[in-house]
Structure 1
Amino acid sequence: MRRMLWWTAVLLAFVLNSSASEQLPLIAPIFGNNMVIQRGITNTIWGWVTPGTTVEVVLLGHAYGSVADTNGLWKVRFRPPDVAEPFNVKVIIGGTNAFMFTNVVVGDVWVCGGQSNMEFPLRLARNGEEEVKNANYPEIRFFKVRNQPAYEPRSIVQGSWRVCSPASVVEDGGLSAVAYFFARKILTATNVPIGLIQVAVGGTPVETWMSEEAVRETKEFEIALQELVRLRSKQVPEYGNYVMHWYDEYDIGQRHPAWHLLDFDDSDWKSVNITNAFSVLGVSDTPALCYFRKKVVLPEPLPGKPAVIMLGVIERMDTTWVNGEWVGASAWVENPRRYMIRPSILKPGTNLIVVRVLKTRPDGGFKSDSSSLKLVLGDGTEISLAGEWKAKVAVDARPPHPLPYSYENWPVIPTVLYNGMIAPLRGLSVAGFIWYQGEANVGRAKQYRKLMETLIYDWRRTFNGDQLPFYMVSLAAFLPRRDNPGDDAWAELREAQAQVAYSVTNCGLAVAIDVGDANDIHPRDKKEVGERLALWALAGYYKLPVVASGPLYASSERTNGAIRIRFHNTAGGLIVRGSDKPAEFWIAGADKKWHRAEAKVEGETVLVWSSAVPEPVAVRYAWQANPEANLYNKAGLPAVPFRTDDW
Structure 2
Amino acid sequence: MVNFREKDMGLVNGNALWAAPELDDSQWKNMNTPNSWETQGLEGVDGIVWFRKAIELSANEVGQNLTLHLSKIDDNDKTYFNGQLIGETNQYSAERVYEVPSKLLKIGANVIAVRVEDTGGGGGFYGDSEAMYCQTNQQKISLAGTWKYKLGVIQLNTGKAPNQQPVIIYNKMIHPILDFPIKGVIWYQGESNASAEDAFVYRDLFATMIQDWRKRWGMGDFPFLYVQLANFMAAKSQPSSSNWAMLRESQTKTLALPNTAQAVIIDIGDANDIHPRNKHDVGYRLALSARKLAYGEQNLVHTGPVYQSMKVEGNKIRLQFEAISGTLTVKGSDLKAFAIAGDDKKFVWANAKIEGNEIIVWSEEVKNPVAVRYAWADNPDQANLYNQQGLPASPFEPDMLVMIVYFEYSDVKSLMC
TM-score (norm 1): 0.44
Picking from 416, 424, 432, the partner of 2:184 is 432
Picking from 353, 375, 397, the partner of 1:622 is 375
Deviation, 1:466, is 6.7
Deviation, 1:618, is 1.4
- After TM superposition, list the pairs within 5 Å mapping 1:463-474 onto structure 2: 467-474=221-228
Could you say which residue in structure 2 is the equivalent of 1:591?
344
Are residues 520 and 573 of structure 1, via their aligned partners in 2, closer, same or farther at CA, if it must alter by over 3 Å?
same
1:587 is paired with a residue of what secondary structure?
A: strand
Are residues 366 and 499 of structure 1, via their aligned partners in 2, closer, same or farther at CA, if it must alter by over 3 Å?
closer
Q: Contact 1:270–1:391 at 8 Å: present in 2 too?
A: no
1:542 is paired with a residue of what secondary structure?
A: coil
Picking from 273, 294, 298, the partner of 1:541 is 294
Are residues 448 and 588 of structure 1, via their aligned partners in 2, closer, same or farther at CA, if it must alter by over 3 Å?
same
Max Rg structure: 1
Could you say which residue in structure 1 is the equivalent of 2:281?
528
2:308 is paired with a residue of what secondary structure?
A: strand
Deviation, 1:312, is 6.9
Could you say which residue in structure 2 is the equivalent of 1:631?
385
1:600 is paired with a residue of what secondary structure?
A: strand
Picking from 21, 28, 31, the partner of 1:277 is 28
Q: Contact 2:223–2:260 at 8 Å: present in 1 too?
A: yes
- The total of aligned residue pairs comes to 365
Amino acid of the structure 2 residue aligned with 1:550: G
Are residues 383 and 597 of structure 1, via their aligned partners in 2, closer, same or farther at CA, if it must alter by over 3 Å?
closer
Q: Contact 1:423–1:462 at 8 Å: present in 2 too?
A: no
1:259 and 2:259 correspond: no
Picking from 509, 513, 535, the partner of 2:262 is 509
Could you say which residue in structure 2 is the equivalent of 1:246?
4
Picking from 575, 578, 585, the partner of 2:329 is 575
Superposition RMSD in Å:
5.5
Deviation per CA, 1:67-86: give whole Å up to 9, x if none. Answer: xxxxxxxxxxxxxxxxxxxx
Could you say which residue in structure 1 is the equivalent of 2:115?
356
C-alpha distance in structure 2 between counterparts of 1:367 and 1:475, whole Å? 21
Amino acid of the structure 1 residue aligned with 2:267: D
Q: Contact 1:589–1:617 at 8 Å: present in 2 too?
A: yes
Could you say which residue in structure 2 is the equivalent of 1:600?
353
Q: Contact 1:557–1:565 at 8 Å: present in 2 too?
A: yes
Deviation, 1:586, is 2.2
C-alpha distance in structure 1 between counterparts of 2:148 and 2:52, whole Å? 5
Deviation per CA, 1:532-559: give whole Å up to 9, x if none. Answer: 1111100101111212122222222223
TM-score (norm 2): 0.63
Q: Which runs of 5+ in 1 are unaligned?
A: 1-233, 237-244, 280-284
Deviation, 1:276, is 4.1
- After TM superposition, list the pairs within 5 Å mapping 1:95-106 onto structure 2: none
C-alpha distance in structure 1 between counterparts of 2:175 and 2:79, whole Å? 34
Deviation per CA, 1:296-339: give whole Å up to 9, x if none. Answer: 9998997xxxx96545788x976415666971257x7xx8x953
1:557 and 2:302 correspond: no
Q: Contact 2:69–2:132 at 8 Å: present in 1 too?
A: yes
1:564 is paired with a residue of what secondary structure?
A: strand
Could you say which residue in structure 1 is the equivalent of 2:96?
339
Could you say which residue in structure 1 is the equivalent of 2:366?
613
Deviation, 1:568, is 1.0
1:327 and 2:79 correspond: no
Picking from 361, 383, 394, the partner of 1:640 is 394
C-alpha distance in structure 2 between counterparts of 1:472 and 1:480, whole Å? 24
Amino acid of the structure 2 residue aligned with 1:534: A
Amino acid of the structure 1 residue aligned with 2:28: A
- After TM superposition, list the pairs within 5 Å mapping 1:26-105 onto structure 2: none
Could you say which residue in structure 1 is the equivalent of 2:414?
none
C-alpha distance in structure 2 between counterparts of 1:424 and 1:548, whole Å? 30
Q: Contact 2:308–2:320 at 8 Å: present in 1 too?
A: yes
Deviation per CA, 1:340-389: give whole Å up to 9, x if none. Answer: 45x8xx767459986435799xxx98899xx9976669x99979999xx9
C-alpha distance in structure 1 between counterparts of 2:360 and 2:77, whole Å? 54
C-alpha distance in structure 2 between counterparts of 1:373 and 1:425, whole Å? 48
Percentage of identical aligned residues: 35
Are residues 456 and 571 of structure 1, via their aligned partners in 2, closer, same or farther at CA, if it must alter by over 3 Å?
closer
Deviation, 1:513, is 2.8
C-alpha distance in structure 2 between counterparts of 1:550 and 1:403, whole Å? 44
C-alpha distance in structure 2 between counterparts of 1:597 and 1:384, whole Å? 39
